[in-house]
Structure 1
């Protein structure tokens, strides 16, 4: 079992798609199948269940996936520490964040980090911010950008990059606002106003908490994955939404949106980078972490 085999299996365990992994490693699907078969024979267990339509990990496959991530991380640390003649860091680092965070915070950081460490491969994954911390804890990512929850798990390190208010938004159109019932904030009937909220995550929990504290049962029109989608739906007049202000500031639809002056205000987002504390022993993660502080 060599490092390449671990990389191949880890990629396949995440893609769950033989063709994608074959393309990524420039090998044929049949060669990939032989790699997996030899690996399963070496371990003496089945790692994947597959049929003509789907691929999934067995319980043993999930255990081996974790082993692969940890082994490859340790390999990069060992290789770097042994290569005393090499003054430049080499390897890869994976980051996860929302689309908004990628162009709000990462450009300057990644530009400078790339200049200082040109041999480090950057892997950026974007998506709904709700699962950001779990992706770091489960070692799918080295670092993630997310809002700081009330209780940060003890195994995570956090570094702040911004404070963003959490705001109520409505369409910037008088007729549509009137139809939604938000033209007069003194007479808001929240049980009738269609609300567009996040499916899960910190924004949803703070919205739910706000409504509960006000003794309001909200009329939830839609539950959406991703703040950008909420802005889009609100701009089209489907309802009133709740999003971090930084999302609106960077949205191409900002001119079609109005921030409602609602009191009391929702608790603001404390946005920053998260990583596992033990990952800071990895020179690559440590170098990136230090770079955050010198923006």
Structure 2
């Protein structure tokens, strides 16, 4: 087996969907299927149960996840240790973040990192920030930009990058939802009448749950959505109200299609903090350490300006 096959296996083990996994691995679905089949033949056991509707891990497949994660982590660390100390730092680094984070938090970091370490290949994967910490914990990504949770999982290092306020937004367009809001704007029971677009999981969902609990409100949920950017789009179309980070709204093409709903001081929703996360032990890797040092320097520089 080769390391590329292990990477394919881990992606499929997480997505449990050949089309999505092949897209993330930048190969065709038949190529991915063939690579997984070769891996299974070499191991002498099936790793996945496949049928026309679903893909799931076998008992051996679940056990193989840990082996694949540990093997790839040790391989990356070994490659870093074999470098010529007198030459430029080389290697690969994978990072996960939301699309918004690439504009708001990582652009300056990438610029500094690229200038100092031009020989390092940086692989950037974007998606729902609710999955950031999980991707780091499972070894799928070296580092990630994540919303800081109330309790950081043990074994993770965290470096703050910035903060963002949260905004509850609704459509501007003439639609049943905007008419409802305009008609009952002064009504204390307005929140009970509103459909909510909720994130599937993560810190933002926790913030909204806390907000609703403070109002003794059981929200009417129109949909659960993965990704903050998609929540803005659905809110702008009148499907429901949504609570999103202001930094997401500032970068959204739909910013002029939504309005802010006013919340009282008692209804205040706590800001979120965004930072860089990685496994503590991965900081021993020179490549990961190089990015962490760049991020630390940038954070200290920005803090000094405040």
TM category, shorter:
0.7 to 0.9
Q: In structure 2, do the counterparts of structure 1 residues 285 and 221 end up closer, same or farther at CA, with 3 Å as the change threshold?
A: same
The CA distance in 2 between the partners of 1:291 and 1:190, in whole Å, is: 44
User: Residues 280 and 286 of structure 1 are in contact (CA less than 8 Å); yes or no, is this contact kept in structure 2?
Assistant: yes
TM-score where L is the length of structure 1: 0.84
Instruction: Show CA shifts across 1:241-274 (max 9, x none).
Output: 1111111011111111222221221111011111
Find the counterpart in structure 1 of residue 243 from structure 2: 242
Q: CA deviation at 1:29?
A: 7.7
1:172 corresponds to 2:169: no
Find the counterpart in structure 2 of residue 278 from structure 1: 281
Q: CA deviation at 1:32?
A: 4.1
- State the Cα RMSD in Å: 3.1
Find the counterpart in structure 2 of residue 89 from structure 1: 89
Q: In structure 2, do the counterparts of structure 1 residues 268 and 49 end up closer, same or farther at CA, with 3 Å as the change threshold?
A: same
SS of the residue aligned with 1:130?
helix
User: Residues 18 and 32 of structure 2 are in contact (CA less than 8 Å); yes or no, is this contact kept in structure 1?
Assistant: no
1:59 corresponds to 2:59: yes
User: Residues 185 and 262 of structure 1 are in contact (CA less than 8 Å); yes or no, is this contact kept in structure 2?
Assistant: no
SS of the residue aligned with 1:294?
helix
Find the counterpart in structure 2 of residue 116 from structure 1: 116
Find the counterpart in structure 1 of residue 99 from structure 2: 99
Q: In structure 2, do the counterparts of structure 1 residues 191 and 11 end up closer, same or farther at CA, with 3 Å as the change threshold?
A: same
The CA distance in 1 between the partners of 2:199 and 2:40, in whole Å, is: 42
The CA distance in 2 between the partners of 1:121 and 1:30, in whole Å, is: 27
Alignment map for 1:13-92 (pairs within 5 Å): 13-15=10-12, 17=18, 20=22, 32=35, 35-36=38-39, 39-41=42-44, 45-49=45-49, 56-92=56-92
Q: CA deviation at 1:60?
A: 2.4
SS of the residue aligned with 2:192?
coil
The CA distance in 2 between the partners of 1:94 and 1:265, in whole Å, is: 36
Find the counterpart in structure 1 of residue 297 from structure 2: 294
Q: CA deviation at 1:196?
A: 1.7
Q: Which runs of 5+ in 2 are unaligned?
A: 299-306
Name the stretch that deviates more: 276-285 or 212-221: 212-221
Alignment map for 1:250-269 (pairs within 5 Å): 250-263=251-264, 264-269=267-272
Q: In structure 2, do the counterparts of structure 1 residues 138 and 175 end up closer, same or farther at CA, with 3 Å as the change threshold?
A: closer
Q: Which runs of 5+ in 1 are unaligned?
A: none
User: Residues 10 and 65 of structure 1 are in contact (CA less than 8 Å); yes or no, is this contact kept in structure 2?
Assistant: no
SS of the residue aligned with 2:163?
strand
SS of the residue aligned with 1:163?
strand
The CA distance in 1 between the partners of 2:85 and 2:193, in whole Å, is: 68
Q: CA deviation at 1:176?
A: 6.0
The CA distance in 2 between the partners of 1:210 and 1:260, in whole Å, is: 14
The CA distance in 2 between the partners of 1:55 and 1:261, in whole Å, is: 45
Q: CA deviation at 1:35?
A: 4.5
The CA distance in 2 between the partners of 1:112 and 1:226, in whole Å, is: 27
Q: CA deviation at 1:232?
A: 0.7
Q: In structure 2, do the counterparts of structure 1 residues 182 and 140 end up closer, same or farther at CA, with 3 Å as the change threshold?
A: farther
Q: CA deviation at 1:168?
A: 0.8
Q: CA deviation at 1:28?
A: 7.1
Count of residue pairs brought into register by the alignment: 288
The CA distance in 2 between the partners of 1:23 and 1:212, in whole Å, is: 43
TM-score where L is the length of structure 2: 0.82
The CA distance in 2 between the partners of 1:166 and 1:271, in whole Å, is: 12
Q: In structure 2, do the counterparts of structure 1 residues 53 and 199 end up closer, same or farther at CA, with 3 Å as the change threshold?
A: closer
Name the stretch that deviates more: 57-66 or 193-202: 57-66
